[in-house]
């Protein structure tokens, strides 16, 4: 998976602004933030989309959710609020095909979903 940019970030081959890391998950600031807080949370193993999360990989998704709570606290938005988004495939707006969760906050977010 050397051609996958998020695998390369997870391997330390491409730099990122790391927010949180544990054995299975890495979280880093989005390079083109859409809100004052915009963090991407990824599994270190390659999973292409949320549709590829089978029973064996459900632990990765659980770890991403745990990491999201920690990132929210680290970024100081655990009380003010934030949004978690996973884009899937073309119409969902997925551009990078390595599973990732967006954590957005630090301002009042609008209800628009597009």
CB of 19 to Zn ion, least distance (A): 19
Is residue 46 near Zn ion by the rule CB under 5 A?
A: yes
Q: Which stretch binds Zn ion (CB under 5 A): 20-28, 32-40, 77-85, 95-103?
A: 95-103
Half-sphere exposure of 86 (CA within 13 A, CB side): 20
85 vs 96, beta carbon nearer Zn ion: 96
Q: Is 89 a catalytic residue?
A: no
> For tokens 């695998």, what's the residue?
7
Main-chain dihedrals φ then ψ at residue 63, nearest 5 degrees: -65, -35
Considering only residues 55 through 94, tell me which ones interact with ligand AMP, judged by CB under 6 A: 87, 93-94
Catalytic residue among 38, 98, 100, 102: 100
- Indicate which of ligand AMP, Zn ion, none lies near residue 94 (CB less than 5 to 8 Å, by partner kind): ligand AMP
3-state helix, strand, coil in the chain (%, to 5): 30, 20, 50
- Catalytically active residues are 100
């Amino acid at each position: 998976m050397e051609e996958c940019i998020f695998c390369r970030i997870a391997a330390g081959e491409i730099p990122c602004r790391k927010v949180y890391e544990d054995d299975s998950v890495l979280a880093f600031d989005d390079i083109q933030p859409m809100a004052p807080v915009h963090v991407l949370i990824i599994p270190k193993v390659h999973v292409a989309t949320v549709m590829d999360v089978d029973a064996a990989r459900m632990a990765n998704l659980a770890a991403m959710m745990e990491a999201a709570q920690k990132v929210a606290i680290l970024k100081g938005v655990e009380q003010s609020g934030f949004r978690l988004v996973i884009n899937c495939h073309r119409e969902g707006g997925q551009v990078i095909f390595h599973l990732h969760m967006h954590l957005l906050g630090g301002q009042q977010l609008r209800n628009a979903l597009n």
